[in-house]
């Protein structure tokens, strides 16, 4: 077979432009491609929602890639092992209630499951702002290429419309801060000290709709609530992402 470089370029452009045009309007926009964001995206997609996940970096996976201090292993507790089992992620028992999984396998299989379920990933995309109309709900995102932000270029962004936004941006709680800075009634307390038991135990209570149309999950949920951080145990991230998906689906009329 004779290969043509222009045909290769045309295939990439045509496919991605079709996807981007289709996802200008979606049900759920997940911001942040870490463990809670990917988990939220896969469960939303499996429940029939049209999902786009926006990640500012080139790679998907967030802090899960590096495990603990660049040792590519993560720990989950008993309650979260069912999520690993659900997506075929191998986990070895360490001590009662503790399971160890490979971080690369975990990210890869969650991401693959999200793709299979129909979620679309948009990496190297930065969210510059949110859209709030007269009804007071977050109803869209203002997006641009991450290299534009990194280079400090004055390039106007584009906008996507969605019925719900999930802030899964981790410690920074980026989207929640955007809403708060623009005058939204959204107090943000900031994350507390390291205390894994407390952080993991309370994260599902903090996973919620914090502003009309805006949900928080993962470490962003704890940061908004003023809760502790938990370090390289990832069970709460997975369970929080699933909980956020269930909340969004219920609000949009899609039951599990």
pLDDT at res. 256: 63
Q: Which two three-digit tokens encode residue 118?
A: 């129909």
Q: Is 56 annotated as a binding residue?
A: yes
Residue 31's pLDDT band, with cuts at 50, 70 and 90, is very high
Would 144 be classed as within a structural domain?
A: yes
Q: Domain of residue 169: give its range.
A: 25-64+104-251
Residue 255 has pLDDT above 90, yes or no: no
Query: Is residue 189 one of the residues assigned to a domain?
Result: yes
**Are 90 and 157 within 8 A, CB to CB?**
no
Q: Is 156 annotated as a binding residue?
A: yes
75 domain residue, yes or no: no
Q: Per DSSP, what are the bridge partners of residue 194?
A: 229
User: In the structure encoding, which two tokens stand for residue 14, read together?
Assistant: 């045509």
Report if residue 256 sits inside a domain. no
Mean pLDDT value across residues 163-191? 96
Q: Which of 212, 214, 213, 192 is nearest to 203 (CA)?
A: 192
Give me 59's structure tokens: 């790679």
Q: What is the CATH number of the domain that holds 119?
A: 3.50.50.60
155 in a known ligand binding site: yes
- Name the token pair of 76: 């989950």
* 127 annotated ligand binder: yes
Q: Give this prediction's pTM.
A: 0.97
pLDDT, one tens digit per residue, over 54-107 is 999 999 999 999 999 999 999 999 999 999 999 999 999 999 999 999 999 999
Total number of domains in the chain? 1
84 within domain boundaries: no
pLDDT, tens only, 189-221: 999 999 999 999 999 999 999 999 999 999 999
Who contacts 140 (Cβ-Cβ below 8 Å, separation ≥6)? Answer: 29, 130, 131, 159, 160, 161, 162
**Contact 209/215 with Cβ under 8 angstroms?**
yes
Residue 81, marked binder: no
pLDDT for res 51: 98
Answer whether residue 114 is part of any domain.
Answer: yes
Please, are residues 242 and 87 in contact by the beta-carbon 8 Å criterion?
no
Is 177 annotated to bind ligand? no
- Report the pLDDT value the prediction gives residue 159, as an integer from 0 to 100: 98
182 is in an annotated binding site: no
Residue 113, domain member (yes or no): yes
Query: What does the pLDDT read at residue 254?
Result: 76
Question: Does 88 map to a domain?
Answer: no
């Amino acid at each position: 077979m004779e290969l043509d470089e222009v045909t290769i370029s045309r295939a990439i452009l045509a496919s991605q432009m079709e996807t981007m045009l289709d996802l200008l309007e979606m049900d759920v926009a997940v911001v942040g491609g870490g463990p809670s964001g990917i988990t939220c995206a896969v469960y939303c997609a499996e429940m029939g929602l049209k999902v786009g996940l926006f990640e500012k970096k080139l790679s998907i996976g967030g802090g899960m890639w590096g495990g603990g201090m660049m040792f590519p292993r993560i720990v989950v507790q008993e309650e979260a092992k069912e999520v690993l089992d659900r997506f075929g992620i191998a986990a070895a028992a360490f001590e009662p209630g503790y399971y160890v999984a490979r971080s690369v396998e975990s990210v890869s299989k969650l991401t693959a499951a999200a793709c299979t379920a129909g979620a679309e990933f948009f990496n190297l995309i930065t969210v510059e702002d949110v859209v709030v109309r007269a009804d007071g709900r977050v109803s869209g995102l203002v997006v641009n290429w991450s290299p534009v932000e990194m280079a400090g270029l004055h390039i106007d962004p584009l906008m996507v419309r969605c019925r719900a936004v999930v802030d899964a941006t981790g410690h920074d709680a980026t989207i929640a801060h955007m809403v708060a800075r623009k005058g939204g009634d959204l107090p943000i307390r900031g994350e507390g000290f390291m205390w894994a038991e407390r952080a993991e135990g309370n994260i599902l209570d903090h996973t919620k709709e914090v502003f009309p149309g805006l949900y928080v999950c993962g470490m962003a949920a704890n940061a908004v609530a003023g809760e502790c951080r938990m370090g390289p145990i990832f069970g709460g991230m997975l369970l929080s992402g699933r909980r956020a998906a269930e909340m969004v689906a219920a609000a949009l009329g899609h039951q599990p």
